[in-house]
Amino acid sequence: MDPSQNDDAILATLRARRSIRAWQDRPVPRELLERILDAAIWAPSADNLQPWRFIVLQGARKQELAALLRRFVDGLQPGLNPVLWVHRVGLRRMAGMIERAPAVITAWATFKPEDAALRLVARGDLTPLFTWTMVVQSVAAAVQNLLLEAHALGLGAVWMGYPNLAAREIKAWLGAEGELQATIALGYPAESPAPRRRKPVRDVVRWEG
C-alpha cells in the first residue's frame, strides 16, 4: 500500500470525526467498547507511565451518574458556590446526555505526582506541577485515541468536561482511583453535524529556521 494513501485515510478520519450529542436507542456491544478502550491504551504517555484508568457505565449505573449530577446542581447556591453556579445549566445538559447515551466512559489519571516524579527522573528538579501536567496530557492522548476509534467503528461520542466540576462526588460514588479527567458519552449516532470551521494552518503556526 502506498504510504500516502494510508496518510490520506488517517487525515480523512480526523476530519470526519464529530462530537455527537444524540444517539439511537441501541446498545453498544461490549466487543466494540473493548476495541475502543484498546485503542485508548495505545496512546503515548510520559515515560510510558500509562497513568490512565477507565470506568464504563451502562444501564442503571449510567442513570445513577446522571441523577448524581442533578443532585449536585440542585445543591448549589449562588452565594456559596458562585463559580459552580455559573455552570449549572451546562451540568444539567450533561446529565441529560448521560441519560440518553447508551454508554458512558469515565477516564481517570492515577499516578500521584511524587510517584511519577521518581519514575520520570533519576535526579534533578521536577516540580509536582510539571509531573502532573505530563500525566494529564497522557490521559488526554488516550481519550483522543478513544474518540477516533469510536468514529472508525461507526459510533459517535462526545468528550464532556462539565462533570469534572463534580469530580469529588463522582469519585466517592464510584470508589474510583485517581482524578477524573474526562467523561465520554457514546453510542450509535442519531445526528450528522456539519464540520465546524478550523483556523487555517497559517494562522496557528509560526515557522523559524
State which amino acid sits at residue 31: E
pLDDT value of position 91: 96
In order of 15, 17, 169, 182, 190, the CA distances from 193 in angstroms are 12, 10, 33, 22, 10
Q: Check: CB of residue 183 under 8 Å from CB of residue 104.
A: yes
pLDDT value of position 111: 74
State which amino acid sits at residue 72: F
156 φ/ψ sector (left φ>0, alpha ψ -120 to 50, else beta): beta
pLDDT value of position 121: 52
Q: In the predicted model, what is the mean pLDDT of residues 192-204?
A: 95
The C-alpha cell 521536577 sits at: 126
pLDDT value of position 42: 98
**Grid coordinates standing for 109?**
489519571
Q: In the predicted model, what is the mean pLDDT of residues 136-164?
A: 97
Q: Is pLDDT above 80 for 127?
A: no
pLDDT value of position 73: 96
pTM of the model as a whole: 0.89
> What is the rounded CA–CA span in Å between residue 43 and residue 34?
15
Taking only the tens place, the pLDDT of each residue in 28-40 is 999 999 999 999 9
CATH number listed for the domain at residues 22-190: 3.40.109.10
Neighbours of 123 (CB within 10 A): 5
Q: Is pLDDT above 60 for 199?
A: yes
Taking only the tens place, the pLDDT of each residue in 63-97 is 999 999 999 999 999 988 898 999 999 999 999 99
How deeply is 182 buried, as exposed, middle or buried, from its count of CB atoms within 10 A (0-12, 13-18, 19+)?
buried
> What is the rounded CA–CA span in Å between residue 155 and residue 47?
31
More confident residue, 47 or 143: 143
Structural domain spans, the chain? 22-190
The C-alpha cell 469519585 sits at: 171
